[in-house]
Structure 1
Amino acid sequence: MSTARPELHVLRQGHGDPVVLLHGFPLDHRMWSDVAAVLPGDAPILAPDLPGLGTGPVPGAEPSVDVAADAVADLLDATGARRAVVVGLSMGGYVALALAERRPDLVAGLGLVDTKSTADTREARENRWRIADEVAQAQTVDAVLGMPQNLLGTSSRQTRPELVARITAWIGDQSPDGIAWSQRAMAGRPDRTHVLVGFGGPVCVVVGAEDTVTPRTDAEHMVGASRAARLVQVEGAGHLSAVENPAPVAAVLAQLAAQALA
């Protein structure tokens, strides 16, 4: 059992098996609030804060996406859920794939939003390690406060200053140690394309049309590996499509849930 159980936030009470929404880096469960507000259906919506972010404690364990996946599994076991639709954006997608590999009994359907199944390049890993060291030593999150410029699409950055401010405020709420742990966890993750090859449930891959962090090519790679994945492109959105244009993301996740939990 993991000692890093995340904090659970219930975004909607409901009936039956839950939809579990896993947030991106360097954010927390709040990034899913707009999707949850318009997600059709009556399934419970659970949005944990992953280890080290939001209210999630920083694990004592070696940084690993697997630790985060085991923490989510512990949470679902504690609620009595036997299966769930698991949706992850960016880092949340890495955790979702790890969960599908480690506890396939829990994952009825996979939603992969603005993420990828491949490992980091050497350059990306080294950049994560550098940032982790910087925030841990400085004990501030200044090194990641500028991330909205990359996370948000051009349309959002140019026309929605309030959204830029909102994302920046969420990042500012995070702990330096949690940021460092998460960066190191992501840097060490393996390629999990094989999980999609073997996964038997429905899969939906969502990508913002303006996503330059994990662009459409990464989404197409995952769709190509899956048995029957659906690819949905969200217009007017970058890497945070669930925040930038939540309605179409909610609609496709509702379809995924209906299919997976039928």
Structure 2
Amino acid sequence: MIFQINGHTTYAYTGGKPLDAAKPTMVFIHGVLNDHSVWILQSRWFANHGWNMLAVDLPGHCRSAGKPPATVEEAADFVVALLDAAGVQKAALVGHSFGSLIALETAARAPERVSHLAMVGTAYPMAVSPALLDSALNAPMKAIDMVNAFSHSMLAPPPSSLGPGTWLYGGSRALMRRVLASNREVNVFHVGFKACNDYAHGEAAMAAVAAQGCPVLFLLGAVDQMTPPRATRTLTAQAPAAQVVTVQAGHALMSEAPDAVLFALADFTGTPR
């Protein structure tokens, strides 16, 4: 589905279903150098189990035009604008990595618009090493290889999101190259990593979300090297009522443990499975 936001076209995958005002809505937000397709299993399942689905391409990424968000705060404003454009008053937000920070900041800024907050493969601070930041800017293909090495804990899990034996490294590397090539004007790789690295409002944002009573889920990969589970302690300390679910996967949770991620999100949102 195409929306007009801030004068630019924005694409959101709906799972092949039209938006229905009688149904609750879920928004999936991808991470750095990804797009809506990383949520393929989860988004299609929820679209066929009573939810409106908006799995978005962030601005400047793939099928969405506009300037890529340079900060988490800017991206959060975009999510609120997406809800406005879709005519959605309230939604459950699910974000992965960079997307988890965007979802958090959105929930803190517009608590009346968020019913649930699920942070997948998250950390705070989400520091990016100077070497990786430099590579993302000056040697992006090298940086893609580095990120893939640290994002996956297995070569071909049985089953993966696209079926048993899927080559996770190859698929992820191809996606990241495609997303990078989709924007010839701005290096979305470096812009996204810098936004993660610069975000300084996480602790206050989580305290605000917890104070509002919004249900929170931390969905973590047990062997995640990009955002290890221990790196969530600053956030979980601010949300003692939050659920914490750890699955056997690396940073690429949605492809390495698709069913476990799906079931955790279904249970969190009270969706029968």
Q: Is the 8 A contact 1:117 1:192 kept in 2?
A: yes
The one of 154, 161, 168 aligned to 1:163: 168
Paired residue for 1:115? 122
State yes or no: 1:231 paired with 2:244. Answer: yes
The one of 49, 70, 74 aligned to 2:77: 70
Looking at structure 2, the residues matched to 143 and 98 of structure 1 have their Cα atoms a distance apart, in angstroms, of 30
Instruction: Tell which has more relative contact order, 1 or 2 (C-alpha 8 A, sep 6+).
Output: 1
Paired residue for 1:100? 107
The one of 246, 252, 257 aligned to 2:258: 246
State yes or no: 1:153 paired with 2:165. Answer: no
> Identity percentage over the alignment?
24
Change (3 A) 1:8 1:167: same
Q: Is the 8 A contact 2:136 2:143 kept in 1?
A: no
Looking at structure 1, the residues matched to 138 and 204 of structure 2 have their Cα atoms a distance apart, in angstroms, of 33
State yes or no: 1:179 paired with 2:189. Answer: yes
Looking at structure 1, the residues matched to 263 and 190 of structure 2 have their Cα atoms a distance apart, in angstroms, of 34
Looking at structure 2, the residues matched to 225 and 191 of structure 1 have their Cα atoms a distance apart, in angstroms, of 13
Change (3 A) 1:201 1:98: same
Q: Secondary structure at the match of 2:103?
A: helix
How many residues align? The count is 249
Pairwise CA RMSD:
2.6
The one of 9, 12, 17 aligned to 2:13: 9
Q: Secondary structure at the match of 2:225?
A: coil
State yes or no: 1:144 paired with 2:143. Answer: yes
Gaps of at least 5 residues in structure 1 are 136-140
Residues 77-124 of structure 1 show CA distances to partners (whole Å, capped at 9, x for unaligned) of 11111111001010110111111122222111100011123252xxx3
Offset, 1:170: 0.4
Gaps of at least 5 residues in structure 2 are 159-163, 182-186
TM-score w.r.t. the length of structure 1 is 0.84
Paired residue for 1:126? 130
Amino acid aligned to 2:120: V
Offset, 1:24: 1.6
Change (3 A) 1:9 1:228: same
